[in-house]
Amino acid sequence: MNVIIAKNYDELSRQAAQLVAQKIKNNPKLVLGLATGSTPVGLYQGLIELFKQKKIDFQKITTFNLDEYVGLAPDHPQSYHFFMQKNLFDHVNVPKERVFIPNGQAPDLEKECISYEQNIQKQGGIDIQILGIGRDGHIGFNEPGSSIDSRTRVVSLDVMTVNDNARFFQQDISLVPKQAVTMGIATILAAKECLLLANGAHKADIILQTLYGPITESIPASFLQKHENLTVILDKEAAGKLSENLKSRGIRYEDYSQKTGGGPLG
């Protein structure tokens, strides 16, 4: 595990964008796992910027999104299809036919989940999976109770997740879908590399539990401790409860929270 503590959200996003851009440069046919939510928006803006500067080309990459709500059409403003279009795909040159997002409106959702897994296999597996984290420790929509063996499937959302997401649905909980299709924990852990991002003081507790607490189904993100190639980029608020733990456990970490600019990738 490599933990990077950035000064603020902008720095976190810049570091994450640099890291992903480097992966694309090293491997133009990268299979990139994408996440939605507010956390990766800055990373996507960074990638768009690098694309505009002609520093990266998305022409040959393939993308797989973590999840999608059940029942929302791709053009619904709160669907993850729409989110990805607006926050990334409208601005870069990923070929449409190599963008994969679960279809939450598939007539046979079980079949959709199986074919999503098969598709990932067909593309040779995910090279790097971007992840945000929910306050309940979910990654993708793998809510507490998700097993380490879980694969892409239909899940019911936790009350905390529905409440947290109501802000995107006019604060009306009744409008928030209660089910989603999500990659499983095993699907995520099979990625060759994982990049976990978190910002804000409201994520400090769950980050502490995720990285240094017991590995348990009640905090699905804690399974990431088992991943051999995990990078975590945090802002200093999300890292707020870590510093003593990092030091006392001898964990490799780089703290850029006091510096202007800089960072492992410049």
Which residues form the catalytic set?
67, 136, 138, 143
Work out the number of other CB atoms within 10 angstroms of the CB of residue 244.
Answer: 9
Work out the number of other CB atoms within 10 angstroms of the CB of residue 173.
Answer: 12
Query: Contacts with ligand PGA: how many residues (CB under 6 A)?
Result: 6
- Measured from each CB, the residue nearest to ligand PGA is 37
Beta strands 193-198 and 230-235, pairing class? parallel
Helix %, strand %, coil % for the chain, to 5?
A: 40, 20, 45
Work out the angle between the directed axes of helices 9-26 and 41-52 (0-180°, nearest 10): 50
Q: Which residue number, 37 or 102, has a Cβ lying nearer to ligand PGA?
A: 37
Binding region for ligand PGA (CB under 6 A) out of 20-28, 35-43, 151-159, 169-177? 35-43
- Which two three-digit tokens encode residue 225? 């401790």
Q: Which residue number, 62 or 182, has a Cβ lying nearer to ligand PGA?
A: 182
Q: Which residue number, 35 or 94, has a Cβ lying nearer to ligand PGA?
A: 35
Q: Which residue number, 134 or 184, has a Cβ lying nearer to ligand PGA?
A: 134
Cα 119 to Cα 126, 209, 245: the distances in Å are 10, 33, 39
CA 200 to chain centre: 16
Instruction: Please state the closest distance from residue 58 (CB atom) to ligand PGA, in A.
Output: 22
Instruction: Please state the closest distance from residue 41 (CB atom) to ligand PGA, in A.
Output: 8
From candidates 22, 38, 119, 156, binder to ligand PGA by CB under 6 A: 38
User: Counting beta carbons within 10 angstroms of the beta carbon of residue 162, is it exposed (0 to 12), middle (13 to 18) or buried (19 or more)?
Assistant: middle
Binding region for ligand PGA (CB under 6 A) out of 4-12, 32-40, 93-101, 104-112? 32-40
Instruction: Please state the closest distance from residue 68 (CB atom) to ligand PGA, in A.
Output: 13
Angstrom distance (rounded) from CA 154 to CA 108: 11
- Which two three-digit tokens encode residue 259? 């510096």
Going by C-alpha positions, the residue among 59, 107, 105 that lies closest to residue 82 is 105
Angstrom distance (rounded) from CA 203 to CA 111: 35
Binding region for ligand PGA (CB under 6 A) out of 24-32, 37-45, 185-193, 256-264? 37-45
Instruction: Please state the closest distance from residue 66 (CB atom) to ligand PGA, in A.
Output: 8
Please give the DSSP secondary-structure letter assigned to residue 172.
-
Rule CB under 6 A: which of 111-150 touch ligand PGA? 132-134
Please give the DSSP secondary-structure letter assigned to residue 58.
-
Check residue 37 for interaction with ligand PGA (CB under 6 A).
yes
Check residue 39 for interaction with ligand PGA (CB under 6 A).
yes
Instruction: Please state the closest distance from residue 161 (CB atom) to ligand PGA, in A.
Output: 7
Q: Which residue number, 56 or 130, has a Cβ lying nearer to ligand PGA?
A: 130
User: Which spans of this chain sit near ligand PGA (rule: CB under 6 A)?
Assistant: 37-39, 132-134
